Amino acid sequence: MILPTINMTVTEWTDMMALELERYGVVSRLDEPERWKDWANRVIAMPKIAVTIPPVPDLFNDWREWAERFVQIARAEV
């Protein structure tokens, strides 16, 4: 189940997503919320996720906007 971001902080969402995406490889915790783009870039670099052509975090200012787009693609592809 790929999680929407409603009523979650970035660290809550990434913690839950790390567990969800564990089957594709090791996903680290996000300890510094302001570094969400680094976390997201590591996730989209995972081979089984990269083939889905996920959104590039560096093109987003808000983690929720990126996460919602990622969730849309992940639900369809992953």
Q: Could you tell me the pTM of the whole model?
A: 0.88
Q: What is the pLDDT of residue 37?
A: 98
Domain residue extents for the chain: 1-21+36-78
Are 21 and 49 in contact by the 8 Å Cβ rule? The answer is yes
Are 35 and 50 in contact by the 8 Å Cβ rule? The answer is no
17: left (phi over 0), alpha (psi -120 to 50) or beta: alpha
54-75 confidence digits (pLDDT tens): 999 999 999 999 999 998 887 6
Sites in the chain below the pLDDT cut of 50: 1
Q: What is the rounded radius of gyration, in angstroms, for the C-alpha atoms of the chain?
A: 11
Q: What is the pLDDT of residue 60?
A: 97
